[in-house]
């Protein structure tokens, strides 16, 4: 399992993340920040799961990057787990992710919310390793705690109804004709 085209280790960035203007509730209470995500066409960000599938998101979408509530966002920032949050948020909102097959074509696969949450748990652990958090003193324990806390958080969010799919069967979330047939 690993992330590909995430921008570290000299690889090209597979996405851009731009913060949108802050919106307010009742004119003065700030809402969670919203980010506009744009996936690179030639070198898309994707995640290789346990089954060897290359999973990616739609080309463009808005995300709140995990919407961590106020007191807990001091422990785990959305900046630390940005890549996992991008893939998880889009998978939850669109009801699945795109699998990149051997020919480089994109096939939409439906993924249930609980499967997306389990995938988030694995991605969080991999992102801990990418950030080097597992190599610090007490790092492996921190990564293990982080992984399970993030999983508990997304399960609570699912119970409360956050992140429901916008469309049960998205017919047009990605234009595969504009993506390259194959890439390195």
Task: Report yes or no on 14 lying in a domain.
Answer: yes
Task: Report yes or no on 181 lying in a domain.
Answer: no
* Helix, strand, coil % in the chain, rounded to nearest 5: 35, 20, 45
pLDDT at position 183 is: 43
Number of domains forming the structure of the chain: 1
pLDDT at position 76 is: 60
Task: Report yes or no on 113 lying in a domain.
Answer: yes
pLDDT at position 181 is: 43
Range of the structural domain that residue 15 is part of: 2-173
Task: Report yes or no on 180 lying in a domain.
Answer: no
Task: Report yes or no on 184 lying in a domain.
Answer: no
Task: Report yes or no on 72 lying in a domain.
Answer: yes
pLDDT at position 47 is: 92
Q: How confident is the model at residue 163 (pLDDT cuts 50, 70, 90)?
A: low
Task: Report yes or no on 179 lying in a domain.
Answer: no
pLDDT at position 118 is: 93
Phi, psi of 145 (to 5 degrees): -65, -45
> What pTM was computed for the model?
0.78
Task: Report yes or no on 71 lying in a domain.
Answer: yes
| Residues found in the chain | 184
pLDDT, tens digit (0-9, with 9 covering 90-100), for 19-39: 888 777 676 666 677 888 988
pLDDT at position 165 is: 65
Q: Using alpha carbons, list the distances in angstroms from residue 74 to 35, 53, 68.
A: 19, 33, 9
Q: How many CB atoms lie within 10 A of CB 110?
A: 14
């Amino acid at each position: 399992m690993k992330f590909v085209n995430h921008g570290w280790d000299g690889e090209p960035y597979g996405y851009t993340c731009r913060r949108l203007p802050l919106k307010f509730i009742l004119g003065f209470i700030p809402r969670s920040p919203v980010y506009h995500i744009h996936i690179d066409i030639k070198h898309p960000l994707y995640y290789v799961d346990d089954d060897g599938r290359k999973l990616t998101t739609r080309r463009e979408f808005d995300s709140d990057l995990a919407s961590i509530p106020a007191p807990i966002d001091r422990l785990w920032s959305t900046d630390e787990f940005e890549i996992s949050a991008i893939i998880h948020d889009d998978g939850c909102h669109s009801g699945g992710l795109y699998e990149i097959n051997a020919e480089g074509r994109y096939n939409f696969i439906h993924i249930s919310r609980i499967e997306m949450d389990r995938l988030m748990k694995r991605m969080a652990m991999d992102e801990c390793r990418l950030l080097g958090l597992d190599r610090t003193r007490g790092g492996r324990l921190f990564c293990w705690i982080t992984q399970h806390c993030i999983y508990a958080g997304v399960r609570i969010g699912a119970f409360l109804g956050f992140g429901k799919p916008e469309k049960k069967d998205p017919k047009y979330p990605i234009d595969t004709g504009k993506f390259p047939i194959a890439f390195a």
